[in-house]
Amino acid sequence: MKILIADDDQISRRILAALVEREGHHVEVACDGASAWTRFLVGDIRLVITDWMMPGMDGIELLRRIRTHPGPYTYVILLTARSDREDFDASITAGVDDHLVKPVVKDDLRTRLRVAQRIVSLQEELARRADLLATANRRMELDLKAAQKAQRQLLPNPLPTVEGLNLAWRLIPCDELAGDTLNVIRLDERHLGFYVLDVSGHGVSAALMAVQVSRFLSPQMGYGSLLKRPQEGTPRYRLGRPDEIARELALLFHAPMGLQFFTLTYGLYDLATHSLELVCCAHPPPALLRADGTVEVPELSGHPIGLFGPQDVSFSIWRAELRPGDRLLLYSDGVTETTDAQGEVFGIQGLLAQLAAHPGLALEPTLDGVLACLATVRNGAVVADDISLLALERLP
């Protein structure tokens, strides 16, 4: 170990240097605090033994400078003839690691050097592990950013352009990766598919499952899509019914004793008749806001996907027609379960009240208004759950 000795007394300095070298260490010496500081800056010093009282820069000032200097931890032993308890407390407060009383006894020095070497070695090991952890964290951050990018690519950006319909969505994740996802898909000239999906839990595992489910809700035939099924021997296809899709997802994702599941609302919209059919798999029910100000919130039953096998699940279908000026809103429970400081839940009534308060507002500002209202309810608290909103409006 490289050790710097600072002492203005030449005899004490030589004796101490000789004792330290006998213990197998490399020694550098300085005759005062200023020269010790200069040597410290240019050398790889891991232990400093400094006298307390020196002309110019004393041992405490040297210690303060060492403690503010970036780099590996330096162990400092203070040489002193003082015995006052307050002096010792002051030096400990300043950052000294240990004391040696003058005149230095060989056995005391040997003991303190061994303690110092052990602590310096531990500090070096901690620094090495911190570097490894920092490297792993940087790699993880890059992986998370790549995963975020891949997840964002599954969202409807841009939205499909559909004559006679206005579409809008918002998704606010509570973690780096979202367990919620949503989409609006042009299935063919006549039909739109749309869904909001919410995987239990948060973070990487929830996001991976959300991505996996969304792959099965792709409009591309031949990639395991449940939405469009090719008819053998012909170039034609048929569209999967919402309840049929829910049941097949239950078959694909049923894991006995599994703890992860997801809720889902999936709808099929007929652009020719402006009729829709929709299934809810334990997901919050949609809200249909009529142009005349009335609101319909259907009572839909359905099991979550992943907790039960296909033989144990059932789903009800809701059918409705969007008339000119009507809006359909899908959302995740991160909206309705937002809680204020008093523990009051925003709820479906809070959501409907927010929507009713601005009946003439365009669709995009309406969703932004919901998010602003939720932020007011949280009053500075972090987002506790992913927030998803998906709206369809039939234009007048």
Q: Does 66 share its domain with 171? A: no
CATH number of the domain enclosing 38 = 3.40.50.2300
Residue 163, helix vs strand vs coil? coil
The pLDDT of residue 287 is: 96
Q: Coil, strand, or helix at residue 319?
A: strand
Examine residue 265 and state whether it is found in any structural domain, yes or no.
yes
Report the candidate in 42, 87, 92, 93 with the shortest Cα–Cα distance to residue 69. 42
Domain stops at, among 127, 142, 164: 127
Tell whether 83 and 186 lie within a shared domain.
Answer: no
Q: Are 225 and 195 in contact (CB under 8 A)?
A: no
Asked, for residue 147, whether it belongs to a domain, the answer is no
Residue 313 resides in a domain: yes
Predicted pLDDT of residue 147: 78
Integer Cα distance of 192 and 264 in angstroms? 17
Rounded (10°) CA dihedral 20, 22, 24, 26: 50
Q: What angle do CA 122, 33, 37 make, to 5 degrees?
A: 55
For 54, the domain range is 2-127
Is residue 133 included in any domain, yes or no? no
Residues 104 and 206 in one domain: no
Give a yes or no: residue 76 inside a domain: yes
Choosing from 127, 145, 175, the residue where a domain stops is: 127
pLDDT for position 220: 78
Kindly state whether residues 117 and 247 are assigned to the same domain. no
pLDDT at site 258: 58
pLDDT < 70 stretches in the chain: 82-85, 221-223, 233-235, 256-258
β-sheet with 2-6: strand ranges across: 26-30, 2-6, 47-51, 75-80, 98-101
The reply to whether 138 falls in a domain is: no
**Number of domains within the chain:** 2
Helix (H) or strand (E) holding 119: helix 106-152
Q: Minimal CA–CA distance to 66: which of 56, 78, 54, 55? A: 78
Contacts 24+ apart (CB under 8 A), 352-361: 352/287, 352/295, 352/297, 355/287, 355/289, 355/295, 355/329, 356/293, 356/295, 359/293
Q: How far is CA 66 from CA 39, 81, 88, 92, 220, in A?
A: 12, 22, 18, 14, 65
**Domain CATH for 194:** 3.60.40.10
Q: Are residues 217 and 80 in the same domain?
A: no
Encoded tokens for 335: 């909206």
Who's near 60: CB < 8 A, 6+ residues apart? 52, 90, 91, 94
Cβ atoms of residues 54 and 7 within 8 Å: yes
Q: Answer yes or no: do 215 and 260 share one domain.
A: yes
Global pTM value: 0.71
| 159-180 pLDDT tens trace | 999 999 999 999 999 988 889 9
Q: Which two tokens stand for residue 8?
A: 């203005």
Whether residues 202 and 113 share a domain: the answer is no
Q: What's residue 165's pLDDT?
A: 96
Do 206 and 327 have their domain in common? yes
Who's near 164: CB < 8 A, 6+ residues apart? 271, 274, 394, 395
Do 255 and 341 fall into the same domain? yes
Answer yes or no: is 256 within a domain: yes
Statement to judge: residues 120 and 234 lie in one domain = no
DSSP string, 235-280: S-EEEPPHHHHHHHHHHHS--TT----EEEEEEEEETTTTEEEEEE
Tokens 């004792």 correspond to what residue?
Answer: 19
In whole angstroms, give the CA distance from residue 89 to residue 78. 12
**In a domain? residue 145:** no
Same domain, 109 and 159: no
- Are residues 191 and 67 part of one domain? no
